[in-house]
Structure 1
């Protein structure tokens, strides 16, 4: 195969979903709908936590950061996919591909770290309720949120920078609708040993270690819940971490599905479906999980809608 220059800014081809124009039209409508629901749902969570003083608590502070990360995560891939479908173009520049990889890793790491911080918050709330206010003070919460963002920003650099040393073959087709790092490494003509070492090292440090922290937190949480004598007390304690546990299950379940689909010999369509679930479905479901299972957020969102609807009616009345 013909090699390319490692500094060459050639284009890549995102094979995407299908060549069928009719199917592409339906895919465009589906992806656009899911993207709008994801962005609006997460924006409502952020608006609710900022606007109401009752939600100025550590759990909701971390939740608003999670919603911001989810918006960034899905905005890294879906707008480009929508543009490619609309323009019937599959091209993405080298700089655009590198940018996608960087921000995908950044927001994925941020999701991972925030879920870990939220698990610690639930651990303190259930296992040390009398000291919760003292331990989870505003300064500590801000430091943990800032630390997670800084770690994610720095942690996404090694994988991105090591791509710059690679040369790529003339066949630059990526069987995805976005620049997936493992798929990009497969089409490299130069040795990718260093890249794979960096990839797995970062995955262990920013993936496995946080997951271990979540599992340890929940082992302590379940142990404390089992020691509660009344069934009502057990249910009340478990309900405070139910939403977070669901989000953690969806997040790591889809991550596992994507990794298995990339390792196993599966059809490209199944691999694409796993990627859509990973990049879209989890980020879209998070606001629904937290809003439907959380009474405080439902009350605040009800207040927000009650203020917005009369305003829209007054605007319509003036226009008419």
Structure 2
């Protein structure tokens, strides 16, 4: 088969479409013929040499795919060759074939195109596990979503509204109208406004990290929950513990890729049970900005790093 390999740590130009060995499904795994793969910030970090894949994952980038099952390994039940699926994986999605633990595979939701389904597993698992599982967002609460125009952001806005929350997003002005169309109640221009000025949120989903830490805590209501899932604004920030104690607030940090397979499988079960019905009802949809042939992965990474996209970027096989 062919896959996108990383010639050396560097910019998008180091991505190469290369012939590699075909993967074989091990016990508890399925082999998927890839229709499309989602492009994520973690893929760019891996390309730069800053985010190595888990030891048991292929060295190729790609954390989510959609496609058709070609074969199943020993001990796999409920899946068969020919089924259309999407999957959360540790790596290797930028390829013609990939293996995935059976517990991290989901059917393509009814009404969703097979290609577009590649944009769902990573965002659905990330947002659901953090906003619902960890932060326990409740109807009537306010959810603040940073990076509203990203894949994570567009999904979080929709899930928050579907759960009955008041949703505020931060984004560049060019993305405001689209976020309001998705259901955001308010959009803040982070390039010219202090989002914490007059805004109070019960749950904050943050991709920035250090640079937003103080403002995020400022914005929390009493009993608020801040969940940090990225560090685009740096690894370090200053935290006023007195303020945190006075607000009886929670600050948590999580990642998805390095979690054990059992934890990922539990998250995917939750996604299937609680999120997939919302997708099939049309209350949440995959937001796809653009697609590129997989051989043009470098161009897709250039778009990702420009931050000019709205929603997900996909790579298509074939």
**Range of TM-score over shorter length:** under 0.3
RCO higher in 1 or 2 (8 Å CA, sep ≥ 6)? 1
TM-score (norm 2): 0.22
TM-score (norm 1): 0.21
Higher-Rg structure is: 1
